[in-house]
Amino acid sequence: GAGVSQTPSNKVTEKGKYVELRCDPISGHTALYWYRQSLGQGPEFLIYFQGTGAADDSGLPNDRFFAVRPEGSVSTLKIQRTERGDSAVYLCASSLNPQVNTGELFFGEGSRLTVL
């Protein structure tokens, strides 16, 4: 497809398990972002990639969260030892230009994570 693709769309896991969420950005978009939307909240910034490197990971809540983008395209968000508070919709977005005032962010449909 032409849009940002995220898999899985839904993931239910048990507390303490490991989870991976995948994002396939729009072809040619060098900038990739992960946001997290908890219930009743707006999306919150987690991490930004420019190419293969994480240019800013200041939004990751703790060291249980990690993200990679080894070839500058697909990205994987990894969550270790999941906790119930990690339950949220994880949104991925991509753009041609990282400056939000010059380029539109295109969001995927999100991966809904539920930790029991």
Partner 1 sequence: DQQVKQNSPSLSVQEGRISILNCDYTNSMFDYFLWYKKYPAEGPTFLISISSIKDKNEDGRFTVFLNKSAKHLSLHIVPSQPGDSAVYFCAASASSGAGSYQLTFGKGTKLSVIP
Q: What are phi and psi of 5, to 5 degrees?
A: -110, 130
Minimum gap (Å) between residue 110 Cβ and partner 1 = 6
Query: Residue 35 or residue 65: which is nearer to partner 1 going by CB?
Result: 35
DSSP 3: S
- Sign of CA pseudo-dihedral 90, 93, 99, 101: negative
Minimum gap (Å) between residue 81 Cβ and partner 1 = 27
Query: Residue 28 or residue 40: which is nearer to partner 1 going by CB?
Result: 40
3-state secondary structure of 100: coil
Minimum gap (Å) between residue 90 Cβ and partner 1 = 11
Residues paired with 112 in a beta bridge: 10, 89
Interface with partner 1 by CB under 8 A: which residues?
Answer: 4, 31, 33, 35, 40-45, 48, 55-56, 58-59, 91, 93, 98-101, 104-110
- Is the backbone peptide bond immediately before 61 cis, with ω within 30 degrees of 0? no
